Structure 1
Amino acid sequence: MKIFAIGDLHFDHKNEKPMNIFGDNWINHEGKIIKNWENIVSKEDLVLVPGDISWATKLEDAKADLLKIDELPGIKILGKGNHDYWWATSNKLDMLGMKTIKFLKNNSYEYKDVIVCGTRGWDSMEEHSIEYSNEKIFLREINRFKISLKQCNYSKKHKIAMLHFPPFSNDGEPNEFFSLMKDYEINTCIYGHLHGEDGHKNIREGIIDDISVYCVSSDYIDFKLKRIM
């Protein structure tokens, strides 16, 4: 089994949200992702997708994009991004009847030698200290992360945390989400969210406090799935 990751698919079956505002490399980005996916992923492999999956705003509209992902090779675990406005309750997501997709929401998933937990995340607390609504979201995401982490606390499997937002503040310092990963002995962390030259300059990767950290925003990895294990 191989494990791959790619975030920020930004699929759009209605072609209403062109992504080339971030650069010409985004032209036909969906086709690039699908072609690479089909070339390197087998049905037994695990693919982690940390958010910003579809531009749809309603679940019924997102279904077409989700079905496209469902038909691709591999077992997929999807997390929520800040643009996934279609994201719904666990029951509604399960009722879609996807065959190869699992939705990460206040839970965790075990697959062979790994266990995957995570949440969307949010910007660091100090960046929203005056804006109560954003602070409220931050604290809610912290709590959701704790719920997910506790489910894999005693597992001896390789622990992967999947976030949409980077677990770092704007100055590159680890934030509260990173501290929780240390507390729960996470082995690997993946995140996305950062696009274009302005976003990519804020990326931190490598082994940080014994955690292997990868940014898997699709444009950062040239729309090719990143093998993380």
Structure 2
Amino acid sequence: MEKLSIFAISDLHLSFNKPVGLYDIDAQHDIEKPMSKFGWNNHYDIIRDHWLKLVSTDDTVLIPGDISWALKWEQAQYDFGWIAELPGKKVFSPGNHEYYYHSKKKIRNYLPKGMEWIDADYTCVEGVVVAGTRGWMLPGDPNFQIETDQKIYERQVGRLQLALEAAQKDYPDLPKIVMLHFPPLTKHASESKFMEIMRSYHVTMCIYGHMHGKSADEAIQGEIDGIELRLVACDALKFCPIKIR
């Protein structure tokens, strides 16, 4: 029996303005917010080509946030429709640009077949628990403001704990992967409550996105306290899904 794989890639930043197929996308007419100004020229084509070479129908791809630029689901559906044409099961969690996302129940009803949305909860794929939430900036980061960010940080920490508590109760013997959008450690924040919680539940891997360009070069990656940290923002991966299991 062929062993199935788990891949990861985040920050797709799609913005199709109508239904599109995998091929023959007109960058001038089919894209609402071109990423070419960031040097991401036709990045969806590069993602597609790598994805088709690597991912099989029964594999799983984890996508932790910043999937679409859309402000409302009516437009985001075009981006998810494009992703749906790519092989594999997909598991999404939110990022800081998911403006179209207001209700977990609603978005789960909207998603095409073969897609899951997790936020403050978990799913099981290929014998692994995958728990997810958005995360947030960390105390110590330059832009962190106690007045506005502390409550959001604490809330997101609580949401991760809810997800892992439920996973531990239901599947105590399965290995655990966490999907965050924001990194759980940075060069300015060498500790966080996200890391504390992941250690306490014996999480083996945390994938995250959000960091691009020069900030990606400073991302904390590798094994920290028994947890493998991996940046999976698509530009950091050269727009190629990475196999994580």
Q: TM-score range by the shorter chain?
A: over 0.9
Tell me, what secondary structure is at the counterpart of 1:34? helix
Tell me, what secondary structure is at the counterpart of 1:194? coil
Is residue 164 of structure 1 aligned with residue 181 of structure 2?
yes
The 5 Å alignment of 1:147-186 reads 147-154=162-169, 155-186=172-203
Aligned residue in 2 for 1:213: 229
What is the CA–CA distance in structure 1 between the aligned matches of 2:186 and 2:223, rounded to whole Å? 17
What is the CA–CA distance in structure 2 between the aligned matches of 1:224 and 1:196, rounded to whole Å? 16
Give the share of equivalent positions with the same residue, in percent: 37
Distance 1:95 1:200, change over 3 A: same
What is the CA–CA distance in structure 2 between the aligned matches of 1:3 and 1:28, rounded to whole Å? 25
Aligned residue in 1 for 2:124: 110
The 5 Å alignment of 1:1-229 reads 1-14=4-17, 15-22=31-38, 24=39, 26-127=40-141, 130-154=145-169, 155-197=172-214, 199-229=215-245
Contact persistence 1:172–1:204 (CA under 8 A)? no
TM-score by length of 1: 0.93
Tell me, what secondary structure is at the counterpart of 2:167? coil
Aligned residue in 1 for 2:23: none
What is the CA–CA distance in structure 2 between the aligned matches of 1:176 and 1:225, rounded to whole Å? 28
What is the CA–CA distance in structure 2 between the aligned matches of 1:97 and 1:83, rounded to whole Å? 18
* 1:126 shift after superposition: 3.9
> RMSD of the alignment, in Å?
1.5
Tell me, what secondary structure is at the counterpart of 1:177? helix
* 1:35-75 C-alpha deviation (Å, 9 max, x unpaired): 11112111111100010000001112101101111221111
Structure with bigger gyration radius: 2
The gaps in structure 1 that reach 5 residues or longer are none
What is the CA–CA distance in structure 2 between the aligned matches of 1:86 and 1:176, rounded to whole Å? 28
What is the CA–CA distance in structure 2 between the aligned matches of 1:205 and 1:169, rounded to whole Å? 10
Amino acid at match of 2:5: K
Tell me, what secondary structure is at the counterpart of 2:164? helix
What is the CA–CA distance in structure 1 between the aligned matches of 2:123 and 2:183, rounded to whole Å? 21
Amino acid at match of 2:198: M
* 1:131 shift after superposition: 4.0
